[in-house]
Amino acid sequence: MSDHSFELKGSLFPLSVLYCQDFSVAALQAQLQQKLAQAPGFFHQAPVVINVENAKQIPDFIAIKQLFVELQLVLVGVCGANAELKKVAQQAGLAALQLSKNNGKTPEAAAKPVAEPAPIAPAAAVVTAVVENKLIEQNIRSGQQIYVKGADLIIKGTVGAGAEVIADGNIHIYGSLRGKAIAGAGGDSSKKIYCYNMQAELISIAGNYWLSESLQGEFWGKSACISLQDGQLVLAELF
């Protein structure tokens, strides 16, 4: 048998981080259901880590795990836990993850975690969802999140690294896409992403996503159209 027939390697995957203080099952259920209703297609079976740094009580991790199953989310583990909470979480079969330096701050003080295809917690700046198509004529900076419900999002500017743009409809970026773009967030697989310079950290349509390492090919740094065909993301020339 080859020495390389079995390998265990580190890698990066998008994870949503949930920040809250009240970890009662009733409070979590109400807040999560409200968030999931905004973009059900994107959050379906999404991996989530909960930040327990500011927990006011020891959470019932067994009950929380069951809640996540019922909501069709995947609870991976916890972060920001002290020794006692780590032990309780591990006894419930959850991983205890280490916070990065930035993630050790509150969600308002820190830029949005790199790993989230779509965070449960709001980022530093969130644009309220609207029904009509949304036009933004400025750059979207790191840590900002924009979500447009039931419509297209049109951006005349750059989506910076660490920024995230989400729409139930299509996304049009008349500039560079260096952050994350999530179209068809409500589950509509016919939606597309258009950009003038594709250098994305993540692209997603109707819950199907690619990370940067999968995008660095023929269309990297060029204008591109991203669509979903037969359940697979497809890149094509914009012009």
pLDDT digits (tens, 9 = 90+) for 183-227: 998 888 999 999 999 999 999 998 888 888 888 889 999 999 999
Predicted pLDDT at 40? 61
Nearest to 210 by CA among 235, 237, 239: 235
pLDDT mean across residues, the chain: 81
pLDDT band at 131 (very low <50, low <70, confident <90, very high): low
Query: Radius of gyration (Cα) for the chain, nearest Å?
Result: 18
> Domain 125-237 classified CATH 2.40.30.30?
no
Does residue 64 surpass a pLDDT of 50?
Answer: yes
Strand 47-51 and strand 74-79: pairing? parallel
The domains of the chain are located at 16-104, 125-237
Predicted pLDDT at 217? 87
Nearest to 225 by CA among 177, 167, 158, 162: 177
Predicted pLDDT at 10? 56
Site of tokens 């780590």 = 86
Predicted pLDDT at 137? 94
For domain 16-104, which architecture applies?
2-Layer Sandwich (3.30)
Name 211's bridge partners.
202
Does residue 113 surpass a pLDDT of 50?
Answer: no
Predicted pLDDT at 123? 41
CA 134 to each of CA 104, 130, 171, 172: distance values in angstroms, whole numbers, following the listed order = 33, 7, 10, 10
CA 225 to each of CA 44, 107, 169, 228: distance values in angstroms, whole numbers, following the listed order = 24, 32, 14, 10
Predicted pLDDT at 35? 77
Q: Which has more confidence, 126 or 238?
A: 238
Predicted pLDDT at 45? 74
Torsion of CA 192, 150, 160, 80, to 10 degrees: -120
Does residue 169 surpass a pLDDT of 90?
Answer: yes
In angstroms, the CA 72 to CA 70 distance is 5
Write the pLDDT tens digit of every residue in 74-107: 888 998 899 999 999 999 999 888 765 544 444 3
Nearest to 78 by CA among 59, 63, 57: 59
Predicted pLDDT at 87? 92
Predicted pLDDT at 48? 86
Burial 136-165 (b: 16+ CB within 10 A, else e): beeebbbbbbbbbbebbbbbeebbbbbbbb
How many other CB atoms are found less than 10 A from the CB of residue 17? 21
Write the pLDDT tens digit of every residue in 18-46: 888 888 999 999 888 887 776 666 677 77
Predicted pLDDT at 41? 62
Nearest to 41 by CA among 161, 202, 190: 190
Predicted pLDDT at 47? 83
Phi, psi at residue 212, to the nearest 5°?
A: -55, -45
Does residue 156 surpass a pLDDT of 90?
Answer: yes
Strand 224-229 and strand 232-237: pairing? antiparallel
Instruction: Flag whether the pTM goes above 0.75.
Output: no
CA 35 to each of CA 31, 43, 56, 117, 219: distance values in angstroms, whole numbers, following the listed order = 6, 9, 22, 14, 33
Nearest to 106 by CA among 84, 89, 121, 85: 121
Predicted pLDDT at 56? 85
Predicted pLDDT at 238? 82
Torsion of CA 206, 207, 213, 214, to 10 degrees: -60
